[in-house]
Structure 1
Amino acid sequence: MVLISDPKSFLKNLPLCSGVYQMFDVNDKIIYVGKAKNLKNRVTNYFQKTGHDLKKHALMQQAVKIEVTITANENEALLLEGNLIKQYKPRYNILFKDDKSFPYLVLSKDKFPRLFSYRGTKEAGYEYFGPYSNSLATRETLHFAQKVFCIRSCSDTFFRHRTRPCLQYQIQRCTAPCVGYVSEAEYHEQVSMLEQLLRGKNRIVLDELTKRMQEAAADKKFELAAQYRDKIAYIREVQTPQRVTKEGGESDVIALVEQGGVYCLQVLFVRFGSVVGSQAYFPNVPEFSTLEEVITAFLTQKYLDFAIEKGVPKNICINIYLAERAVLQETLNNVLNTKTKLLMVTTKGKYHSWMQMALTNAKESVQRHLLLHANLLDRFQVLQTTLQLTDLPQRIECFDVSHSAGEATVAACVVFTTSGAEKKDYRHFNIENVAAGDDYAAMHQALLRRYGYLKEHPAKMPQILLIDGGAGQLNIAANALEALALENIILLAITKDPERKSGVDFIYQFRFTTKNIVSVDCPAPALHLLQQIRDETHRFAVTSHRQKRAKKRRGSILEDIAGIGQKKRLALYKHFGGLQEVKQADVAALVKVPGVNQKLAEEIYRVLHEENKI
């Protein structure tokens, strides 16, 4: 590590090899991570008095020290750089949000294969089709497969324990292989046609179904012929709007465009010669970054994450020239054990039409993004005027409480800025030690926890706090903020019309100076902004509550006893046969379980018998 104020000795001893360098600001926070084929040459370049671009100039104005890490080769430097950027999210690096892995359709290799939607690491023993751009696309394809080919989607446990057909059979979405209503050979014929269709071999499937329809008609099996006819019609109906067939191949086609300071990378997913989906990315890009830096950051952060299987295709097509294309390609193949080609697409060639499609979609995505941002900014400005604020509010937080008759109470906090929802800043609070169904106490506890923390870490303190509720919730929020001496926060509440008319809401403000609540006449843009934030908070609160409730109902009371992990819990079940038998056991019987001593046995007995009394 070296202080920027004394770089000479440091630069003199830097090695002429590959590695990664990190720059720190005065708060010892990493503000930039870079890699180099030659560390000495690359780092020395930052200290030259001339030739700096604007980005380097801004960076060196804030950097106070540098730390370097030597790597065995340039590939390792590229990997380490990507990992450090993901871990520390430096200000002057280009950052992409961590999205969930893309969904796939998965076909099992069972006697009667199952088709289902899946996200996550690929596992052996399954066949994967995709990726799809979103879960809606996988659900639609799954519905299509059930309607045309009647392939089961139930879990293996459900399948094994059936003694009669389920509802899927009744609505003609499954042939009920669980109870022997279809032979293994007939079922596998349907599976084979489905596999061909998912690989883009639509013509083969349609020809086979047409042949069967004609044979059934010739044998005067008109009902069977009508079924084949309907399947053919449905395939053609679905195929026409959803698929764009080209030459065979598996590719991710990436188009990068920039407009008005907004960068968009549009990715087309081409599988088996067809475009099966599209995804737009809007990275956080520091000022004065180049297009080459943006596309390099995308490739390293999205494809070199070896912790998650991405299903990398045979080709990755880009529209930006990369000087380090060969290094990126080699690293990608080494890390993921693939033979992927990183291709620069020009104005000609078989990938040109796909790239044009990606560029068109990228430009439209940028336009929609700019329009949405402009509308959101307008709403913030109207809200500023309505509340007579000197400065434009940059951050709004909203709270809501959700529970089921007092069970699994959760308070949710959602954050909005002028850029939209900041989902990485969302928080939920598990509410404890309050009376069941006491929304006021739950809200008070959550606010004290949230703003007690923000008072110690004020960087993300909001200008406006919005409460989903009426005067009661507003007074509770005011008490919490007063207890923390945070009366400078604008405190609002949004409540529905007493007659529950759709779209009719009222806004109230608590004024700390006069200790009273006043009604706020919000123009439509400001009202729509607050409604949007409230609705998102309600969605997040309900989702968090349902997850907590489901986990609690699936769990065991033994999980709440200190000193009992999974192994001891299983040992108790194995020894006694079940939870009810554990409850009936006395301390002497509990001690006989391997791993349970006298003290733990007494604690188990106490907790279980207190629970029974309740």
Structure 2
Amino acid sequence: MATEFDSAAFLAGLPSLPGVYRFMNAGGEVIYVGKAKDLKKRVSSYFQKTHPSPRTTLMVSQIGAAEYTATRTEAEALLLENNAIKSSQPKFNVVFRDDKSYGYVLITGHQFPQIRFYRGVQHKGNRYFGPFPSAWSVRETIGHLQKIFLLRTCDDTVFGHRSRPCLLHQIGRCSAPCVGKIDAETYKHDVDQAAQFLSGKDDDVTAEITKKMDAAAEALDYEKAAEHRDRIRMLQRVRSGQAVETAKAGDVDIIVGVEREGVWAVTLAMVRGGRHLGDRTFFPSNANGLNANEVLEAFMEQHYVTQPAPAKIVIDQLEGPTSMEEMLTEASQRPIRLVSRPVGEPRLWIDMARKNASLALITRIAAQETQEARAVALQEFMASESPVARIECFDISHTMGELPVASCVVYDKGGMQTSEYRRYNVKGVEPGDDYGAMKYALEVRYRPLAEGEGKVPDLILIDGGRGQVNAARQVMTELGLTEIPMMGVAKGVERKAGLEELIFPDEQEPRILPPHHLALHLIQQVRDEAHRFAITGHRAKRGKARIVSRLEEIGSVGPKRRKQLLAHFGGLQGVMAASVDDLARVEGISRTLAERIYNELH
């Protein structure tokens, strides 16, 4: 029998220090994680007679245990809190999905620098501009820089081995430094101008190009003058296309939260160097019933732990005293200004961001309604007494039996749960044996479930016909999990979308739904994702295997040299990306052998 939580004893042991506290329910599940500048003062507020909201009252009623971790500063507590929220996903915390890191425009530190999209750890010697809210906005910017400054985008392997200009030079997108069409000093100047442009110094760049145009015109070099004129026009077009553009703005983030029907949307718009780089909208979970203050503060706490904060953050609807500015300043180790009641130009930014948030929210709600309608239709089609909320779908991918890969994708909570996807390298099965591969995948997937671990799906989808379904059914019978519904999805007679045959283990004849049926749309969505995930996994595995095979087929490259190559370059991708000079630097690899290896691999 669970003992009642002794809040008085816990509070008595709390220090008046910064730190993180965690509340657990009677089953030991973390239900809330919070941070505090003063642990004793903050945690004590939860155990007063009155609470600020029914949500807090409900949370406190479920506390069965609590623990804390003291830290040196509130900024340290912020980092610890964020990690705990991401790992535990407590039901009373607002949780923002952990997206991929933001993209940057990278200008490398080579003699002839390359410009390209970059996401990851930043290294000394290179220049990074951003962050950008989406990969699309990064690539659009790189496209502009190609047109205006003619910088190379090719990888070093390609750059170092060209004997004539590529197509990009022929269409006026690259100055072809690879074959000496431009000298290093002139190219460096173009790179510096591109960096000025990315830093928001558009006027300086335009002024310099204008001087060059005037000088070329005076020297009667009208062709050169026309090139400079075209660059100025492209710069002006880029600037006129900015929704927010001001020389005084500098680096600013604009944050707005909009709520509708219990769903929150938080839009982050980014201005860097006075240029609007675009925006991104986030949809937090567990935010129903909260006010704007709580949602926006949760966003800033989670977002700026992993992303650099600009010098100025404009945020709407934030009311009352907040330590957020002080905390962000401490975490960033530089002054951060939080503007919560903007006027003038920042007010226009807020209005624009709110409009974008509202549009994204309308789309989100419509998509949720569609998914809910599909789930209801599937439940009715299957005559299930309970909702079909969690679907796990399996597919097998191989090339003529080579290197089979099984995929399992998960649909839950109204959408695809990519963090729960899994791939299985099929072992101990004859090449081309799809039934054996399906058995292997389900055995690996559901053996832990049979032993009491894991989540029980409401439906198992099998991408395949009667044979695959029977194989899957056999495994589930051996595991004692026959109560889980199963359905096979086979291509119809003409193998067209909308003509799928739905196969149930206990029914002789397949069922066919009309192409417009909502249940079929959900089945197709999950099946197609499993197919995509299996194919990408198989292609990656096949590519690696073939590189190894090609290494093995190269004369004079035995096991020892293969091991040296892989160790030196950190794996197969590194060997593929290496130039002849790079390969020749490996111990035991002569220049002649390096050239042979490079030619064989390319």
Residues 567-586 of structure 1: matches in 2 within 5 Å?
577=589
The residue number in structure 2 matching 1:270 is 271
Read off the aligned partner of 1:48 and give its amino acid letter: Q
Mapped contact 1:494–1:505 kept (Cα < 8 A) = no
Aligned alpha-carbon RMSD (Å): 3.2
1:532 paired with 2:529, answer: no
Mapped contact 2:492–2:501 kept (Cα < 8 A) = no
Mapped contact 1:493–1:509 kept (Cα < 8 A) = yes
Residues 374-385 of structure 1: matches in 2 within 5 Å?
374-385=369-380
For the residues of structure 1 that align with 2:452 and 2:143, how far apart are their CA atoms?
A: 48
1:362 paired with 2:370, answer: no
> Aligned to 1:549, what secondary structure does the other structure show?
helix
Mapped contact 1:34–1:81 kept (Cα < 8 A) = yes
Shift of 1:181: 1.4
Shift of 1:323: 4.9
Cα 1:40/1:4, change in 2 over 3 Å: farther
Residues 115-130 of structure 1: matches in 2 within 5 Å?
115-130=115-130
The residue number in structure 1 matching 2:155 is 155
Mapped contact 1:376–1:418 kept (Cα < 8 A) = no
- 5+ residue gaps, structure 2: 553-558, 570-584, 594-602
Mapped contact 1:508–1:517 kept (Cα < 8 A) = no
Shift of 1:448: 1.5
The residue number in structure 1 matching 2:38 is 38
For the residues of structure 1 that align with 2:18 and 2:308, how far apart are their CA atoms?
A: 29
Shift of 1:568: 11
For the residues of structure 1 that align with 2:350 and 2:488, how far apart are their CA atoms?
A: 48
1:350 paired with 2:342, answer: no
Residues 180-329 of structure 1: matches in 2 within 5 Å?
180-206=180-206, 209=209, 223-224=223-224, 227-228=227-228, 230-246=230-246, 247-305=248-306, 310-321=307-318, 323=320, 325=322, 327-329=323-325
For the residues of structure 2 that align with 1:88 and 1:176, how far apart are their CA atoms?
A: 52
Cα 1:447/1:259, change in 2 over 3 Å: same
Mapped contact 1:15–1:39 kept (Cα < 8 A) = yes
The residue number in structure 1 matching 2:499 is 505
The residue number in structure 1 matching 2:330 is 334
For the residues of structure 2 that align with 1:189 and 1:471, how far apart are their CA atoms?
A: 66
Residues 430-441 of structure 1: matches in 2 within 5 Å?
430-441=425-436
Mapped contact 2:107–2:128 kept (Cα < 8 A) = yes
Shift of 1:270: 0.5
For the residues of structure 2 that align with 1:32 and 1:50, how far apart are their CA atoms?
A: 19
The residue number in structure 2 matching 1:75 is 75
Deviation string, structure 1 residues 576-600 (Cα, Å, up to 9, x no partner) = 659xx9xxxxxxxxxxxxxxxxxxx
> Aligned to 2:131, what secondary structure does the other structure show?
coil
The residue number in structure 2 matching 1:600 is none
For the residues of structure 2 that align with 1:365 and 1:532, how far apart are their CA atoms?
A: 22
Query: Percent sequence identity over matched residues?
Result: 37
The residue number in structure 2 matching 1:592 is none
- 5+ residue gaps, structure 1: 582-614
Read off the aligned partner of 1:265 and give its amino acid letter: V
Mapped contact 2:493–2:499 kept (Cα < 8 A) = no
Cα 1:224/1:480, change in 2 over 3 Å: farther
> Aligned to 1:504, what secondary structure does the other structure show?
coil
TM-score in terms of structure 2 length:
0.84
Cα 1:379/1:569, change in 2 over 3 Å: closer
For the residues of structure 1 that align with 2:8 and 2:192, how far apart are their CA atoms?
A: 69
Read off the aligned partner of 2:498 and give its amino acid letter: V
Of residues 471, 475, 488, the one that matches 1:480 is: 475
Shift of 1:354: 0.8
For the residues of structure 1 that align with 2:105 and 2:440, how far apart are their CA atoms?
A: 43
Of residues 532, 539, 543, the one that matches 2:536 is: 543
Shift of 1:37: 3.1
The residue number in structure 1 matching 2:556 is none
The residue number in structure 1 matching 2:597 is none
For the residues of structure 2 that align with 1:161 and 1:475, how far apart are their CA atoms?
A: 54
Cα 1:349/1:497, change in 2 over 3 Å: same
Deviation string, structure 1 residues 98-144 (Cα, Å, up to 9, x no partner) = 11111011112332221111001222222222222221222232233
1:423 paired with 2:424, answer: no
Shift of 1:250: 0.6
For the residues of structure 2 that align with 1:398 and 1:443, how far apart are their CA atoms?
A: 11
